[in-house]
Structure 1
Amino acid sequence: MVFKKMLSAFGVGGPSVDTVLTNPNTRPGLTLDGQVNIIGGDAPAAIERISVGLVTRVEVESGDHEYAGTMEFHRMPVGGPLQLAPKQQLSIPFQLPVPWETPITDVYGQRLHGMTMGLRTELSIARAVDKGDLDHVAVHPLPVHERILEAFQRLGFRFKNADLERGHIRGVQQTLPFYQEIEFYAAPQYAQAITEVELTFVTNPHGVEVILECDKRGGFLSAGHDVFGRYSVAHADADRVDFAQLVDGWLRETTSRYGSMRAQFGGYGPQPGYGAPQHGYGPQHGYGPQHGHGGHGRRGPGMGGVVAGAALGAVGGMVVGDMIGDAFDGGDEGGDDFGGFEE
């Protein structure tokens, strides 16, 4: 009996958990539906809690170095506490709301190179090793995201990579402890002015704030630098606007205002409104080399200069579980390089 208890404490012969998603595809602001299936082990078990949470891989800057860690950023309890009898079977349905700021992982059925997302299930067991399960999740863009991504394609930009950077963008109402950067190589008609563009969506129930970071080319007597623009679009405008024309205007506005932006400390452009640049971007917000993204090969200070470090707790903290890390290291599903936006 003592030997069986010892084995149970190490997870041998203990309960098992398997989560089944009704559909692993979702969008920001929607839900993930499924059920947690639990089977009791060889002995009774005291289940303290059952929870599900979204996890993803995030880039973290530390001094001059950058490393990737796995972060759980949204968690919900679905059951417990309860007593589980030997071989007892339970099925617990759940409906997990997907935060509006959840990053996009898939476009037109293809995984964005550099992105991964999973739903982690945790079964906390008293006096024993916790059990878990991890299921891959695909987060697709909302209509307004699709229109903006399509506009970049129509303008001739080529997708390069996507990743998540830990931190908050100063001046932006942001709830998650990271933000997504979708990187593009510059289209030919912009190539004399910029080399790359990084696109960030910060989405809310009403619309999306769009942050552009353009790697501006240097001249014969001047060094290159990064320039920033911030714009907003309502969800309702997804089918009302010529987004290629709108994005072209954003890019030209952003790259032409470097001098006045520096002079005015961020107070540039018209008052905030539809398609208008928003206030709050400028040197006083921390454009400094100490936050540079050396790992991205950029000459300027980078988006890291406009972020504030996020204090991380149980949710939003770096997850070090081997099960999660191993699952993500196994490669993204559908992980082909995403070179275009063709269906």
Structure 2
Amino acid sequence: MVFKRLLGSLGVGGPAVDTVLEPGAAVPGGTLSGQVHLTGGGADFTIEHIALELVARVEAEHDGGESEGTVAFERFIVGGNFRLAEGERRSIPFSVTLPWETPITELYGQGLGIALGVRTELGVAGAKDKGDLDPVAVRPLPAQEAVLEALGQLGFGFRSADLELGHIRGTGQQLPFYQEIELTPAPRYAHQVTEIEVTFLAGPAGLDVVLEADKRGGMSSEGHDALTCFTVGHQGVEHVDWNAEVDGWIRRLVESRTPHAAHAPHPHGGHGDGHYGEDHGHGHDRRSGPGMGTAVAAGAAGLAVGVVGGMVAAEVVDEVGDFFEGDDEGDEGDEG
């Protein structure tokens, strides 16, 4: 994971930046480590700061439809206030902590089509120059992985994943966007719902698992969305029967008769209780659909989420490559 770029704001002869991330995927709330390699230009320069910026490609829904933009959601100063001599080579090691709500980009090495990256900024002589984006790989936390694997074993299939600008009311969401993982229903629920959406909102003590079902209409009722949330701790993940646990969540969700599911107590006291009520909803309309071209060609049977549940290789049709190759600091679609 490398990028090199001359400091364009200073013209030919400016310092060159080469940022290298440690190999392997990080986890939400974990560390992202690497080194920023600098090569001095045709003169001495004072490096005022070196900043790393986490950015993501995010969808926004509005009255005119949908649009996409780049959101910077965390920034770290990893060095600066030194003189870089002409032609000098210097390496700045860094280790920064990712936000707990950082979206996951892969599951068991399988990409989910999420465009997430780090961009290095140099502050030199009062000017700021942002380098090209370098992709960041993030794997799920153990509890997130357990929930997704259980869904796969229960027969749910992966459809797409995207990032939505906005907040989910009634939660402690910190980032300006949230991740939706959209699943095709297991056969036993296919007559009741068309899609299940999963959102993880992690924190130091555990994570909220927000579930939304697009329910089918009946003879005397129209289709609607049902929503509920459960809290899961980070500890003791290996002692839970996740298939039974998650199946119970899904049953409560699809059997609810209100647009937003009623209070759903968690059966394991050590993991906390569900805390969503009918008065809680989304900060904006969460319409479904594969965003950013992240739909997965999975075949007629669908793509199971968990490896044990039957995850198979599939081509992820997305725009992640274009995001890292074509995005720059002048992107008019930036959202923050």
Bin the TM-score by the shorter chain.
0.7 to 0.9
CA contact (8 A) 1:211 1:229 kept: yes
TM-superposed deviation, 1:270: 4.1
CA contact (8 A) 1:16 1:131 kept: no
Instruction: Give ranges in structure 1 of 5+ residues lacking alignment.
Output: 1-6, 298-323, 331-343
Deviations 1:150-170 (A, max 9, x none): 111111111000011111211
CA contact (8 A) 1:192 1:217 kept: yes
2:8 and 2:120 map into 1 onto residues whose CA distance is 20
Count of paired positions: 290
Paired letter, 2:232 = V
State the partner residue of 1:258: 257
Paired letter, 1:106 = E
1:8 and 1:277 map into 2 onto residues whose CA distance is 53
CA contact (8 A) 2:53 2:76 kept: yes
CA contact (8 A) 1:55 1:73 kept: yes
2:243 and 2:19 map into 1 onto residues whose CA distance is 42
State the partner residue of 1:77: 77
TM-score by length of 1: 0.77
Alpha-carbon RMSD = 2.6
TM-superposed deviation, 1:292: 3.1
CA contact (8 A) 2:229 2:264 kept: no
Paired letter, 1:252 = R
Paired letter, 2:205 = H
Aligned residue for 1:34, secondary structure, equals strand
Paired letter, 1:268 = H
State the partner residue of 2:229: 230
Deviations 1:268-299 (A, max 9, x none): 344895567533442x44569xx4345639xx
Distance verdict in 2 for CA 1:87–1:131, change over 3 Å: farther
Describe how 1:1-343 pairs up with structure 2 within 5 A. 9-113=9-113, 115-126=114-125, 128=127, 130-259=129-258, 268-270=263-265, 273=269, 278-282=274-278, 284-285=279-280, 291-294=284-287, 296=289, 326-327=323-324
CA contact (8 A) 1:216 1:224 kept: yes
CA contact (8 A) 1:66 1:295 kept: no
TM-score by length of 2: 0.79
Distance verdict in 2 for CA 1:8–1:158, change over 3 Å: closer
1:89 and 1:131 map into 2 onto residues whose CA distance is 19
Distance verdict in 2 for CA 1:325–1:62, change over 3 Å: farther
Deviations 1:99-138 (A, max 9, x none): 111111011111013x122121111222556252432211
Percent identity among equivalent residues? 48
Instruction: Give ranges in structure 2 of 5+ residues lacking alignment.
Output: 1-6, 291-320, 328-336
Instruction: Select the structure that is richer in helix.
Output: 1
